[in-house]
Amino acid sequence: MQLGTGLVTSRASPRCMYLALTSPNNEIEVLGHDARIMEPVATEQPQHGPQHPLYTLLPLVNSASAAADLIVRATSTPDLFTFAYLLHAPAIVQHLDSAPDKQQYMRLLRIFASGTWKDYVADAASLPPLSEAQTTKLKQLSLVSLASKSHTLAYARLLDDLALSDTRALASLVVSCIYANLIAATLDTRQQLVHVSAVIAGRDIVDTSDVARLRSVIDTWSARCEATIKALTAEAQTVRRAALKESKDVREYNRTVDAINKQIRRPLTKDTKDISSGGIPVSVEDATPSDVMEVDDESPRSDTSASTKKRKQGIRS
């Protein structure tokens, strides 16, 4: 095993870091199951539009060569991922339109703005060659485009679309996109999948096809929001019905308890009989003489007293 460059953290303990290991066959393995790439604590946010320092050079562009050089710099800079401002800059457009031998740089800029690695490969013969930095950036942007269309990407498809040699190169590219705050994703090495949870940085809108693509993405997002709202509403109604039923049961229980307590605490009257005593009055003061005689006759003590009197009379006689 060789020590990899990625740091990961488990979902159960986000602050607990582990090291990613690379096996001899270039497969990424993570110490611990179901881990995600950990974003660095201090990550520079990608800069967009005229805020990037590189665009301060636009007023200095006075020729087609200077415009082409600025395009090469923009497509090589590691923290610049949107190019619409440069694509529509009058200085760039005017100088490149007047120089047919430099128009290939405008086509290259369009590919970086909204195209993919496959688009470049298909027209590579008529486009300027790419440096290593440009190749990495274009593959990063291509991964962003793929992630915006599907949140689950198979390793096999990514290896083919991005012309990557192995899973180690793929993992390195995904990690670089996460570190650059382009996407939020997890690597599932067991299932050979990349799970994308969010696309943070989008692509530029260059032509009408991009508008249609953006509308499709927004429609999909809107439909997902509506489905989520319906599911939450149904769940809320279920919880509300359960709460009302429970409240009704509690009120019914309380009424039953109150009724029993009132019966227990009700004061005794002369007509109140103890059911367990067979109808004999509970209070001696309330009993009649006939009731007392009945009690004496039925009690064992009265029987004993009568037999004792008979024995005494026999002895006297």
Is residue 33 in some structural domain? yes
Is residue 183 in some structural domain? yes
CB of 185 closer than 8 Å to CB of 177: yes
Q: What is the mean pLDDT of residues 109-118?
A: 92
Lowest mean pLDDT among 11-15, 237-241, 262-266: 11-15
Is residue 298 in some structural domain? no
Same domain membership, residue 126 and residue 52: yes
Place of tokens 């083919």: 160
Is residue 221 in some structural domain? yes
Higher pLDDT: 312 or 102? It is 102
Give pLDDT tens digits for 42-59. Answer: 344 555 556 788 888 888
Query: What is the tally of structural domains in the chain?
Result: 3
Domain ends where: 199, 232, 254? 199
Give pLDDT tens digits for 142-197. Answer: 999 999 888 899 999 999 999 999 999 999 999 999 999 999 999 999 999 999 99
Enclosing domain of residue 256? 210-268
Give pLDDT tens digits for 68-87. Answer: 999 999 999 988 998 888 88
From 89, 110, 127, 134, select the one nearest 205 (Cα to Cα): 110
Helix (H) / strand (E) containing 292: helix 289-298
Confidence of residue 261 (pLDDT cuts 50, 70, 90): confident
Same domain membership, residue 55 and residue 10: no
Residue 280 predicted with pLDDT over 90 = no
Q: What is the mean pLDDT of residues 110-129?
A: 93
Is residue 116 in some structural domain? yes
Residue 285 predicted with pLDDT over 50 = no
Same domain membership, residue 156 and residue 194: yes
Is residue 291 in some structural domain? no
Same domain membership, residue 249 and residue 132: no
Domain ends where: 175, 199, 223? 199
What is the structure's pLDDT at 85? 85
Residue 28 predicted with pLDDT over 70 = no
Helix (H) / strand (E) containing 29: strand 28-30
Q: How far apart (Å, rounded) are the C-alpha atoms in residues 220 and 249?
A: 44
Domain ends where: 245, 268, 291? 268
Same domain membership, residue 192 and residue 217: no
CB-based burial, 247-266: b 16+ in 10 Å, e otherwise = eeeeeeeeeeeeeeeeeeee
Same domain membership, residue 159 and residue 136: yes
Same domain membership, residue 176 and residue 106: yes
Mean of all residue pLDDT scores within the chain: 75
Is residue 82 in some structural domain? yes
Is residue 288 in some structural domain? no
- Please, which residues have CB within 8 angstroms of residue 302's CB and are 6 or more apart in sequence? 296
Higher pLDDT: 33 or 172? It is 172
pTM of the model: 0.58
Same domain membership, residue 158 and residue 234: no
Same domain membership, residue 115 and residue 59: yes
Q: How far apart (Å, rounded) are the C-alpha atoms in residues 135 and 137?
A: 5
Same domain membership, residue 254 and residue 181: no
What is the structure's pLDDT at 268? 57
What is the structure's pLDDT at 185? 94
What is the structure's pLDDT at 239? 93
Same domain membership, residue 55 and residue 26: no
Q: How far apart (Å, rounded) are the C-alpha atoms in residues 120 and 136?
A: 13
What is the structure's pLDDT at 161? 95
- If you ran DSSP here, which 8-state letter would residue 10 be given? E
Same domain membership, residue 159 and residue 52: yes
What is the structure's pLDDT at 32? 34
What is the structure's pLDDT at 52? 80
